[in-house]
Amino acid sequence: MTTGPDLRIATLNDARSRRSAEKRAAVEGAIMRLRDTRQAVTFVSVAREAKVSRQYLYNNFADEIGEERVETRAETEVINGKKIPLRTPVEYRHIEAALRNKIERLETELRDARAEKAKADRTAERERGKAEHWRQLYTAVLARVSPGQAPAPLPPTED
């Protein structure tokens, strides 16, 4: 029978090996869940899923997760008829944020382009009105200068 310091050391070793086995099981379970849900297996996703540190994974599971990363990066899923690589939820959030920013920028550009077009349309309409006014003045002057003759036709417009 062990007593004193030997018993304490044995108890600590037993607790340490139990914690280590629990962490190992948590990591293996996390890898399986990520695989089953078709999510990318990365150090970050496994650490988050298993509730362990990335350093623990780098120290104890570097090869296994490295192989899984390569395999899952090669896997693709089809969304709207396009093949895309599997990604982690964090990557999806980053992609979504980038796309939302791009949509906002494009909507702003579209709004500006529509305003410019409306301004150009108003300017063109104003210039057409001026041209019509000058055409009427020209016709009236020709009718006064030569009252018995028909006015000469205007040169063709480029509209």
93 & 81 share domain:
no
Containing structural domain, residue 16 = 9-86
User: What number is the average pLDDT over the span 12-21?
Assistant: 88
* Closest to 90 measured CA to CA, from 55, 137, 42: 42
72 & 94 share domain:
no
Rounded (to 5) percent helix, strand, coil in the chain: 75, 5, 20
Q: Which comes out higher in pLDDT, residue 123 or 83? A: 123
Residue matched to tokens 């969304």: 79
At 83 the three-state DSSP class reads: strand
- Bridge partners (DSSP) of residue 85 are 76
The answer to whether residue 84 scores a pLDDT higher than 90 is no
Residue 53 lies in a domain: yes
Residue 156 lies in a domain: no
pTM of the model: 0.45
Share of the chain above pLDDT 70, in %: 86
Q: Which comes out higher in pLDDT, residue 24 or 159? A: 24
Give CA separation, 125 vs 45, 53, 129, 139, 154, in Å.
61, 68, 6, 21, 20
Sign of the alpha-carbon torsion through 71, 73, 74, 75: positive
41 & 101 share domain:
no
